Amino acid sequence: MPDQNSVIDYKLENGLRVLLKPIHTTPVVSNWIWYRVGARNEQAGKTGISHWVEHMMFKGTPTFPKGRIMLEVNRNGGVLNGFTSQDYTAYFETLPADRLDLGLRIESDRMANALIDPEEVTSERTVIISEREGHENNPAWALHEEVKATAFHVHPYGTMVIGWKDDLHQITRDDLYQHYKMYYGPHNAVLVIIGDIEVDRLRDRIDELFGPIPAGPVPPPVIIREPTQQSERRVVIRRPGKTAYFQAVYHVCEGTHSDAFTLLMLEAVLSGAGFGGPATHRSARLYRALVETDIAVDASAGYHPSIDPGTVSFDGTIRHGHTLAEFEAALEIEIERLKEEPVSAAELAKVLKQTRAQLAYTMERVSNQARWLGWLEMLGDWRQFDALEDKLAAVTANDIQQAAQKYLRASNRTVGWFEPT
């Protein structure tokens, strides 16, 4: 994990937070800009606007016309991308170390000068609505959307990042531009650079490129909180299809809560260690109980820490010849087992070993280290997580059992079935 002592952390006068970490093992640098804006920052009637602005920031500035960003990064031997989540938006370029300046110029330029051209807005509206319609044709995605909307009655986490289709038809160019000016400035951003860098020279260049960009207005805080769920909720989708899908979500704590580490280990016990490395789930409980018994094609638990209280999810694809009721009954046995019996010392040691291996594998690349550092900063403060491995190792069998009893209650869950007709 990122070492607190090796990360240079400072702020520019306009509010831009900068995190630098020199790693001289290979002549590569990963340059990320993180904005504290995602689906949780959107208002009713404007859902999907953050994802749309993310697209528009690839559509050109006076300095980098449409298509030039991709062309220049590829021409200089690099890779790039951008993505929007519930909690944040991020862009990155991973380049040869002597080409880092290109990434800095791209991000400082589109932070200040994105055109959000009206014709491009019209064109992109069609693209995003088509993207959404493609998702709607995927039964697993459609089930996930219904489950989220049923689990969250108030909080924006109940809305998919792409937004509702009616909103995508109604959002205007002015809406997009105002959202851009409010959220995508230095006052709401974190610049993370890891790799073969000369810190003093880089700091001067960051001051030169990002320092003159004025801070925007202070974004409104997200103060909405989801009321405590009082009883189980269920949703059933019946429509043409060939395969049945299951999903259940349970409300859990925010990502900065101490229980978050326990929930990550709970996920690892049920589904295998994650963290971006190769799959290790074949020895995990859900695989053995649901896949090896031929009830399901796949089965998994998933916990992704979030800024506000989120969910832990359980998903499965039902094998032909078996039923959703069979899957749910077998899953319930595993959940009750976790609540009634502490995980054995041997199983906990195995899961921790897998987790450490996954983290080591994930951290081999500077791009992954930069992603982790930025993501942890978006959740709260990267310093709180600089000892992630140690905090995961400190989780006990009793902690996991108590978390299962606390969160994995029937009254706290929303269950979704996709029944093909």
Coil, helix or strand at residue 216:
coil
Q: What stretch(es) of the chain map to CATH 3.30.830.10?
A: 4-210, 233-420
166 CB-contact burial (10 Å; exposed 0-12 / middle 13-18 / buried 19+): exposed
For the ranges 234-243, 274-283, 382-391, 401-410, the lowest mean pLDDT is seen at: 274-283
Mean pLDDT over the full length of the chain: 94
Q: Which residue has the higher pLDDT, 385 or 396?
A: 396
Q: What is the pLDDT of residues 320-372, one digit of tens each?
A: 999 999 999 999 999 999 999 999 999 999 999 998 888 888 888 899 999 99
- CA triple 417-157-411, angle to 5 deg: 50
Q: What is the pLDDT of residues 97-111, one digit of tens each?
A: 999 999 999 999 999
Q: What is the pLDDT of residues 36-91, one digit of tens each?
A: 999 999 999 999 999 999 999 999 999 999 999 999 999 999 999 999 999 999 99
Q: What is the pLDDT of residues 282-313, one digit of tens each?
A: 889 999 999 999 999 999 999 999 999 999 99
pLDDT attached to residue 148: 98
CA separation, residue 260 to residues 55, 238, 305 (Å):
31, 35, 7
What pTM value is reported for the model?
0.95
In the chain, the amino acid numbered 215 is: A
d(CA 320, CA 14): 58
Q: What is the CB neighbour count within 10 angstroms for residue 361?
A: 14
Q: Which of 239, 419, 421, 229 is nearest to 328 (CA)?
A: 419
* Residue 131 contacts residue 165 (beta carbons within 8 Å): no
Residue 280 pLDDT > 70, yes or no? no
Q: What is the pLDDT of residues 109-163, one digit of tens each?
A: 999 999 999 999 999 999 999 999 999 999 999 999 999 999 999 999 999 999 9
CATH class of 233-420: alpha beta
**Helix (H) / strand (E) containing 140:** helix 139-151
CATH number (3.50.50.60, 3.40.30.10, 3.30.830.10, 2.40.40.20) of 4-210 reads 3.30.830.10
In the chain, the amino acid numbered 310 is: G
Task: Based on DSSP, count helices (H) and strands (E) in the chain, helices before strands.
Answer: 15, 11
pLDDT attached to residue 2: 46
Residue 298: both structure tokens together = 């796949």
Q: Per-residue pLDDT averaged across 249-274, rounded?
A: 94
* Residue 6 contacts residue 176 (beta carbons within 8 Å): no
pLDDT band at 276 (very low <50, low <70, confident <90, very high): low
Q: What is the CB neighbour count within 10 angstroms for residue 344?
A: 10
